[in-house]
Amino acid sequence: MSARAEAPDRIADLQRAMQLIADAVEELPAECRDLAGNALLNVAAEAVAQDVGYAEAGRIFSRLADLLARGLQPPIADAISLNAFDA
């Protein structure tokens, strides 16, 4: 199966993972909920760096920073492609 054929499944899996994580954050104790964003960012940074390497992780987070600086935030139900793996 080609990478193109797998892309819709990968995006659907990513969207499902995002929703499951958002649901889990809602279930956190109230005193932890306001720290969830920072905690998730740390976990995400480590996971992305392990997955694609530090240089590519830096490029991915730079693209994310550019999007956020322009006021573009990914909605929870969608995924914004940040690298070729999600394209």
Q: What are 51-83's pLDDT values in tens digits?
A: 999 999 999 899 888 888 999 876 666 666 666
Rounded to whole angstroms, the Cα distance separating 53 from 62 reads 14
Q: For the chain, what's the residue count?
A: 87
Tally of structural domains, the chain: 1
pLDDT for residue 2 is more than 50: no
Alpha-helix runs per DSSP H in 1-87: 3-26, 30-33, 36-52, 54-69
Mean pLDDT of the chain: 82
Range of the domain at 60: 3-86
Instruction: State both tokens at 17.
Output: 């993972």
The arithmetic mean of pLDDT across residues 41-59, rounded, is 94
pTM of whole model > 0.75? no
Residues 21/36, Cβ–Cβ less than 8 Å: no
